Amino acid sequence: MTERDPDGQGSSPYDEPTEQIELPVTRANEPYPAEGDTGAYGYAPYRSDKAGQDEAARFDEDLEETEQIPTLRKRPVTGSAGTGQVVRDDVADQDTDVVGAPSAHTTRIPAGVVDRDDFHREYGPPPRYDDDDDFALRGPAEPEPIEPLVTEVPARRGTLDLGLLLLRVGVGLIAMAHGSQKLFGWWNGPRLSGFEDYLLNAANTNIGFSSDAAKPLAILGALSETIGGLMLVLGLLTPIAGSAVLGVMTVAAAYKATLAGGVWFFAADPDFTGGGIEYELFLGLAAAVIILTGPGRISLDFGRGWATRPFIGSVAWLIVGIAAPVAIWFLFNGTNPFESPGNPTQ
């Protein structure tokens, strides 16, 4: 009882606690309430007079915007439970699939006095309906799939990078030394002029390079050995550097076999005055290995893909390192190293 309502009737449902009312009871042989009984439950003051009915109508409109309270109907129940139980039949006359509902369309609750708050506490929040007004129950929203966090764990390489460093430095220094002999004349080298004469092969010009191409090829060969060897030591643009060294060694092996009058393997052989091609063959194969394996992480190319996982690009540079010297040989020399007459012996 409040000061605004001395009679204790409660002029508004918000002034006093809600009253509990009994649900309308129908006969046991009637599956639904009799005509005139809606089966709705609510607050007693709303059904007292016309003003109360208007207030109830406004309350129902507000309720539709916030939540839907299912209609309770009483119908006979067979089985051990017997009669006298209220059955919540939200979709009694509809063929509707219930999405996410834990039970069937109906939920049994004890008969007798039902309070809205007690009903919600006992049986959970009322069902919600979708926007198409087809009264199909919606289940709980499915959570969005969470993409797993994928982190790339670097593979253990052991001593691989250290081994590649030693291979690169060894091949690069040897190539630099021979290129410096031709380019600068270091270590009793022939310089560019002497290297050009070597390509012309004054002893038998028929198996030497053409006079027009001798000087450019001398410069190209000396630079390829020197700069290519330096880039191998640093691990900088390694596939290109390896391709340059491989090309020089391919031309050198073919020219050496041509001047000797045949292909021979051992470089130092007293019975074979022209010398073999084991040195050129070894450096060429080592350069090809570096192209295919990459320089490793101990290099200036450590952030590049070809440093640890060479693929198509490295294979392409390997092909260039073989195809380019073959093309140069056929264009500017053309001698068959296996059938060459060789230089005349002294």
What is the value of pTM for the model shown?
A: 0.57
Report the largest interatomic distance among the alpha carbons of the chain, rounded to a whole angstrom.
142
Please tell me the predicted confidence (pLDDT) of residue 3: 47
Q: Could you read off the pLDDT of 290-304 as tens digits, one per residue? A: 999 999 999 999 888
Q: Compute the average pLDDT of residues 64-85.
A: 46
Please tell me the predicted confidence (pLDDT) of residue 44: 47
CA 178 to chain centre: 46
Neighbours of 50 (CB within 10 A): 7
Q: At residue 107, does pLDDT exceed 60?
A: no
Provide the β-strand partners of residue 108. Answer: 87
Burial 75-93 (b: 16+ CB within 10 A, else e): bebeeeeeeeebbbbbbee
N-terminal to C-terminal alpha carbon distance within the chain = 137
Q: At residue 183, does pLDDT exceed 70?
A: yes
Residues 6+ apart with CB under 8 A from 27: 34
CA dist., res. 81 & res. 74, Å (int): 14
Q: 137: which DSSP letter?
A: B
Q: Which of 125-134, 207-216, 245-254 has the lowest mean pLDDT?
A: 125-134
Of 189, 165, 163, which is closest to residue 176 (Cα–Cα)? 189
